[in-house]
Chains A and B, each alone.
Chain A
Amino acid sequence: SQQGEEDPQALSIQEGENATMNCSYKTSINNLQWYRQNSGRGLVHLILIRSNEREKHSGRLRVTLDTSKKSSSLLITASRAADTASYFCATDAGETSGSRLTFGEGTQLTVNP
């Protein structure tokens, strides 16, 4: 079964609006990462949050992590049409940090111009 599960599966918003995607997972983790994938292409790393962190920012991205609820959220502020992509959370729960990433099924974000 998938360690990370994103919610919603699909999200459609207007340019300038904020987009929030959620991720839930089942086991203890070393860190949680968010990736972006443009259609049919490789994934690109966006941001990593460690298990002892609660919030992290990178440009227009804000990630939160609640280890008690085993959940994370990715907020993209002031969205642009170029943000249209699939977004995946990935949990690192391996014995050796970085050895095993488990990906969710992704959220398809569409930003309408």
Chain B
Amino acid sequence: EAQVTQNPRYLITVTGKKLTVTCSQNMNHEYMSWYRQDPGLGLRQIYYSMNVEVTDKGDVPEGYKVSRKEKRNFPLILESPSPNQTSLYFCATAAYNEQFFGPGTRLTVL
């Protein structure tokens, strides 16, 4: 079954404690992306990757890092999380302009 998986699905952490949210896809797509969703702001793109070792900033990249060492994985790294990064995060992959979203990771930073 074609899918995008994210882990963890829920995370509560404290300010400054480094964390990584993993994203994996089994569709062999070159494109992957991270979004955050906040009430009243919709979805905003954090980073995207057109292929292995190719990453670009989206609209809200500050405070985040990504890496794309292999096609199937695209982890999102928060080196020093802050409360304003409390949000619902979605990983997505895409082919032929259609995006496929993961189930989401709800992150709370205290």
Contacts and interface: CB of A to CB of B under 8 A. Distances in A.
Given A99-B31, A99-B50, A100-B45, A33 B40 contact: no
Given A45-B99, A48-B97, A92-B97, A102 B45 contact: yes
B58 interface: yes
Interface string B72-110: 000000000000000010101010111111111010000
A7 to B, nearest CB: 13
Given A99-B50, A105-B41, A40 B104 contact: yes
Q: Is the interface of B mostly helix, strand, loop or mixed?
A: strand
A45 B50 contact: no
Given A100-B45, A100-B48, A43 B101 contact: yes
A106 B38 CA distance: 11
A104 B104 CA distance: 18
Interface residues of A, number: 26
A105 B90 contact: no
A104 B99 contact: no
A99 B51 CA distance: 11
Given A43-B43, A105-B41, A96 B50 contact: yes
Given A40-B104, A99-B31, A2 B42 contact: yes
Interface string A71-93: 00000000000000000101010
B99 A101 contact: yes
Contacts of B98: 33, 45, 48
B33 to A, nearest CB: 8
B58 to A, nearest CB: 7
A2 to B, nearest CB: 6
Given A42-B103, A42-B104, A102-B45, 10 more contacts: A2-B42, A33-B99, A42-B92, A43-B90, A92-B97, A96-B50, A98-B97, A100-B58, A105-B42, A106-B42
Interface of B: 4, 31, 33, 35, 40-45, 48, 50, 56, 58-59, 88, 90, 92, 94, 96-104, 106
